Structure 1
Amino acid sequence: MDEGDAIDALEHLGLSNYEAKVFAALQRLGTGTARDVHRATDVPRSQVYGAAESLQDRGLVEVQQSKPIQYRPVRPEAARSHLRGEFERTQERAFDYLEAARKQRGEGDEEREDIWTVHGRTSIDGRVEQLLEEAERRIVFGVGRDAHGLTDDLADRLRERADAGVEVFLVGDPALEELFADSDVAVMQLPADHPHGDDPVGRVVVVDGETVLLSVRDRRGDPELEEETAIWSSKTGIAGVLIQLIDGGLGDAVSV
């Protein structure tokens, strides 16, 4: 990473362009006046003062009231701590508001559309976790032979739902039986004629016979670049059709 990349990163962490440039320049200089910083950057000298003052307010720069004024940056470790704390506080305020706004409008809006699309494994993990949490009677969770999509967190959630009295069926490789040996999760084998190898299906989740999530994987020839996209629907005609198709595909493994 060069200085330009570092400045871009500092901007993403909340610094203005001038603040990032002044801070990076002071790290090189050790200490310096507004003139020194101006000469080391393309920041106008008149703007160095305001940027340095803002950095001081954020705990990133120390100021010596001399003539001329001298500026000294805090060590990178201290700056990292300050920016991390500031970022986390800003994030908390933003998501507190979003959560309050969500509760204010209620959860019913999600059922107005027939089908929803979720992209990216992290987002899909979050949606699957929510669907599992909402289950009242029965969960069918299907994974391919490589158990893609069954993260440790989701495995724990399946155990928790089974402990809470929800019927939980995990359809996948028989090797998963050992993983859930100490729980009430029932592990069922995929049908012998179920496709595998380059099968693009990622995971299948059916909750209470009325909500379904189906994901597909785009391997792109490199596991590190693999992407996942899912569709899900609840209490709709589309959900009913998908669940019937899944039921047929699973054969005798389990009736969803």
Structure 2
Amino acid sequence: MDDLTNVERAIELLQKLGLKEYEAKCFVALSQLPSGTAKQISEISEVPRTRVYDAVRVLETKGLVEIQHSNPQRFRAVPIEEAAETLRSEYESRTDSLRETLRGIDSATVDDDVDVSHEVWALSGHAAIATRATQLIDEAEREVVLIVGTEETLTDQLTGRLESAQDRGVDVIVGTVSEALQEEVRGTLPNAEAFVSGLDWLRPAMSGDETEITRLLLVDRSTILVSTAHRPDGTESAPEQAVFGRGFDNGLVTIVRRLMATGLFPLGDSDGVESDPDAS
């Protein structure tokens, strides 16, 4: 855990959602009061009183603050759930607009002769890796093999995408490193084939090894995503890291596919996997 207080954390999150520093501080101050004057907001938020008025008016235009035109004026924050929903809607609107704008940008032409079959890419951050994993599952046409290394990896979003894949006729195979996690998978994905894998190398191999494999995803036997997290002394992890590769002949995909074949009975032996004519 970090050393931020709830107030500091709330201000930080509001800034990430698009509010400026003084706006975030004023809103958090108002969330601590039934209502307040500019002077009271300034005292709690440590925002200069002359800047409180500007910040509050911006918050009003965003639908986050109400103003009572008394003397002196009083302000109050809208209910927390309403504020969160307003910010979520605005964030999603901006995201949708960004998506359409980026799609409308013409592609640049460069001389870049790359052998895609040997590409390996790195990703960082739990959110980015989780998003990539769900996108790969959405692309699956025949088979998804997922090894879950930690309970935190098995999110509602992930299980929902796996269920959608099954509805499309995709075979879903889920391996875990413990019987407890296997039972959880069976509870959330009753139609998937769930079992405790024989991949002992998923666990830390030696004393002092503080890196754990959080997920290992193989889609249609030709696309691989492997993610890890560093957890010193079992405490909160550093940002999650991952490597990603495509192509049946990709070196990373081949190595991981063969390693998985030694511990996952649904994949059969490694020779059978390599000779699969539909996987190329």
Gaps of 5+ in 2: 108-113, 206-211, 274-280
- Map of 1:187 onto structure 2: 194
- Map of 1:73 onto structure 2: 75
The one-letter amino acid paired with 1:84 is A
The one-letter amino acid paired with 1:165 is G
Change (3 A) 1:104 1:209: farther
Q: 224, 240, 243: which is aligned to 1:228?
A: 240
**Alpha-carbon RMSD:** 4.2
Determine which structure has more spread, i.e. the larger CA radius of gyration: 1
Number of paired residues? Answer: 238
Q: Does 1:243 align with 2:253?
A: yes
Q: How does 1:12-161 map to 2 (within 5 A)?
A: 16=20, 24=29, 32=37, 43=48, 45=50, 50-51=54-55, 53-54=57-58, 57=61, 58=63, 59-64=65-70, 69-74=71-76, 76=77, 78=78, 80=80, 83-104=83-104, 114-144=119-149, 149-161=153-165
Instruction: Give me the whole-angstrom Cα distance separating, in 2, the residues matched to 1:188 and 1:21.
Output: 49
Q: 205, 209, 216: which is aligned to 1:204?
A: 216
Deviations 1:104-157 (A, max 9, x none): 4699xxxx772322223332222111111100112222234x566333442343
Q: Secondary structure at the match of 2:225?
A: strand
Taking every aligned residue pair, what percent have the same amino acid on both sides?
A: 25
Q: Secondary structure at the match of 1:224?
A: coil
Q: Does 1:172 align with 2:176?
A: yes
Alignment TM-score, normalising by the size of structure 2: 0.64
Instruction: Give me the whole-angstrom Cα distance separating, in 1, the residues matched to 2:130 and 2:31.
Output: 43
Task: Tell me if the contact between 2:218 and 2:257 (Cα under 8 Å) persists in the aligned partners.
Answer: no
Instruction: Give me the whole-angstrom Cα distance separating, in 2, the residues matched to 1:135 and 1:60.
Output: 49
Change (3 A) 1:150 1:235: same
The range that moved more, 167-176 or 13-22, is: 13-22
Alignment TM-score, normalising by the size of structure 1: 0.68
Change (3 A) 1:60 1:201: same
The one-letter amino acid paired with 1:244 is T
Task: Tell me if the contact between 2:248 and 2:254 (Cα under 8 Å) persists in the aligned partners.
Answer: no
Q: Secondary structure at the match of 2:236?
A: helix
Deviations 1:157-182 (A, max 9, x none): 33432342222232334732771784
The one-letter amino acid paired with 2:88 is E
1:86 CA displacement? 3.9
The one-letter amino acid paired with 1:121 is H
Q: Secondary structure at the match of 2:73?
A: strand
Change (3 A) 1:221 1:51: closer
Task: Tell me if the contact between 2:67 and 2:73 (Cα under 8 Å) persists in the aligned partners.
Answer: yes
- Map of 2:208 onto structure 1: none
